Amino acid sequence: MSQSSETGDSRAAGSSFFDVRMRGFRDRADVDDVLELLSRRVRPLPPETIRLDEAFGRVLAQDIVSDVAVPSFDRAAMDGYALHAEETFGAGSYNPFDFAIIGESLPGWPFSEGVRTGEAVRIMTGAPIPKGADSVLQAEAAEEVAGRLRIREAVSPGRNVGHKGEDIDVGAVILRANRLLRPQDLGVLASIGQGRVAVFRRPTVSIVITGDELLPCGSRPEGFRIVDSNSVMLAALTCRDGALPPSVQMVPDSRATIEAAILEAETDVLLVSGGSSVGQEDHAPRILADHGELAVHGMALRPASPAGVGFLCDRLVFLLPGNPVSCLCAYDFFAGPTIRRLGGRSMDWPYQKRRLPLARKIVSAVGRVDYVRVQIVGEKVEPLATSGASILSSTTRADGFVLVARDNEGCAAGEEVQVFLYDG
């Protein structure tokens, strides 16, 4: 993996850290190399056992094997009459057969006696099939006359019967590990008597927002100060990716306050927004290098080239640019896959995709990945004209984005591209 150069007079004594402030990046890491690093070093968090009614949206930590059959008895699949099918053979409109009705079987209230020759039991959907019966004649195919059952059609053996284990058999693998639990999954688990389930622990996240110019969310812009938008965006993204609601802290551009916020975080993941580039107030990379491992600083990626990735004890730290679109891009490329992996989810992009032709060309440069916001107009893809890293509204006007690979100079008009959709 290409990292910052270890030569030059801005390198700290006894350290491999190259201070890029007011100098710029010597090299930028390849995006695929960074993702490979994260894939290699990030593992799901230890599992925890929780109540089934709390498990929606969690990720299963182990295979679930049923030790019961569902249903656990033969039962009626519709309302009608339980009888022995062979006795109905030959019945017809001009040759009706009569049976004695000897009782009824209801859900939870079975008919306790056996069914003998010439007998039938009135039965409701879901009720146990009485001993001696092997089929259910639907109610519409018969009538009760003077307390007896008159049928005018035959029924085949096993007809309208839900057999034991028909849904789930003993020993069947119901759900596999790493499955994101859906409502119907919880229903299946409940049906086999599973009251608790082992799932991967949800990651905890701290968000540190840096910047003297920032006002807290809920404020109005004033003077030369702007309102922080990254905190609410990042908080929503982390929850989308399965983390617990994060803690958020805003700090000024001071080494001491940023350092304290970074070192005091006790969560699985730390997101630092701002202070990651080459300005004189960009302290976060230096702090991470001094106290932990700055694995990557500077990406071959537009926007979000100033992003960084590192490790502090057993915590993962992501240095995200302060410009909102760059912040979103860096999160989606690096922090998002990590948070999903920690919680047992796939590291793949969480967006649906479509392949559509370009209405006009996308210009890029060999050697970097480009994250290009686009609109879909008449089943063609239009790159947005306004694409600055600070223009967050471009992501609300966009339908999604296109990734231009590092070995491409761009994409030609008419070329089919893969669009990652923000919605749907």
What SS3 state is found at 419?
strand
Domain hosting 257: range is 31-46+202-342
| 207 shares its domain with 316 | yes
Question: Measured over all CA atoms, what is the biggest interatomic distance in the chain, rounded to whole angstroms?
Answer: 107
Query: Do 93 and 192 fall into the same domain?
Result: no
C-alpha to C-alpha distance for 264 and 266, rounded to whole angstroms: 6
Residues of the chain with confidence (pLDDT) below 70: 1-26, 277-279, 281, 386-390, 424
Helices 284-291 and 255-264 meet at what angle, rounded to 10? 50
Q: Residue 225: inside a domain, yes or no? A: yes
Q: For residue 200, give the nearest of 40, 42, 341 by alpha carbon.
A: 341
Q: Are strands 214-215 and 226-227 parallel, antiparallel or unpaired?
A: parallel
CA-based torsion, 53, 59, 62, 63: positive or negative: positive
Q: Which of 175, 200, 225 finishes a domain?
A: 200
Asked, for residue 17, whether it belongs to a domain, the answer is no
List the CATH number of the domain containing 154: 2.170.190.11
Cα–Cα distance measured from residue 319 to residue 270, given in angstroms and rounded to the nearest whole number: 9
Same domain, yes or no, for 367 and 297? no
The per-residue pLDDT for 278 is 59
pTM (predicted TM-score): 0.84
**One domain, residues 278 and 362:** no
Could you give phi then psi for residue 353, rounded to 5 degrees?
-130, 150
> Around Cβ 60, how many Cβ atoms within 10 Å?
23
CB 413 within 8 A of CB 398: no
* Residues 370 and 412 both lie in one domain: yes
Return the pLDDT at 385: 77
State residue 291 phi and psi, 5-degree precision: -110, -10
Give me the number of domains the chain comprises.
4
Cα-Cα-Cα-Cα torsion 390, 4, 365, 304, nearest 10 degrees, comes to -20
Three-state SS at 55: coil
CATH of the domain at 209: 3.40.980.10
65 and 170 share one domain: yes
pLDDT tens for 306-361 read: 999 999 998 999 999 999 999 999 999 999 999 999 999 999 999 999 999 999 99
Q: Which pLDDT value is given to residue 26?
A: 65
pLDDT at 282: 80
Q: Are residues 125 and 258 in the same domain?
A: no
Same domain, 194 and 219: no
Beta-sheet pairing, 269-273 with 315-320? parallel
Strands 205-210 and 196-200: unpaired
Looking at residue 424, what is its pLDDT? 62
147: left (phi over 0), alpha (psi -120 to 50) or beta: left
Question: Which CATH number belongs to the domain containing residue 188 in this structure?
Answer: 3.90.105.10
